[in-house]
Amino acid sequence: MRPPPPAPTSCPTPKAGYYYTEFEDSLQPTVQGIQQSGRASSISLSVAAGTVDGLGLLKGGSLVKAAVVVDEAYEGWALTDEILRMATKSAPVDETIPTRLFTKQNIGTIQVTTAAQASGVWFGSNSFEGDFAKLWGVG
């Protein structure tokens, strides 16, 4: 049996200046890896599927330089609408889920709290709830 190859002693892409992670659940290990590499001052990090955690890092001036966030409140209502359409054998519709890109230039425009995230205020009005209820005949 052969021993495993030695662990790399240098960054496999030493000139990398930007790193993107798709899901926030890998954000903390990614930040730790970049910090341990000794290159934290020269690498910018962005994340999609951002939540309060990633936005908090962005607001705090960490390695995170950008976060793409979807309106999870709206997304829940829209997915429910699609499920109800399937259950009633109605045709599906295209749902446009509100999405925002946050950077240091606009992170100050929102409250980075779980309550704000859950309410959908990062994306404006939550009047869509009444619109869906009316569409479903319950509002």
CATH of the domain at 105: 3.40.50.2300
- What end-to-end distance do the CA atoms of the chain give, in Å? 69
Question: What pLDDT does residue 118 have?
Answer: 86
* pTM score, whole prediction: 0.80
Look at residue 103 and tell me if it is in a domain.
yes
Look at residue 77 and tell me if it is in a domain.
yes
- The backbone region for 120, taken as left when phi is positive above 0, alpha when psi lies in -120 to 50, beta otherwise, is left
The boundaries of the domain holding residue 58 are: 18-135
Look at residue 6 and tell me if it is in a domain.
no
Question: What's the number of domains the chain is made of?
Answer: 1
> What is the distance between the alpha carbons of residues 118 and 7, in angstroms, rounded to a whole number?
42
For the ranges 19-28, 48-57, 84-93, the maximum mean pLDDT occurs at 84-93
Q: Which residue has the higher pLDDT, 57 or 4?
A: 57
Confidence tier at 38 by pLDDT (50, 70, 90): confident
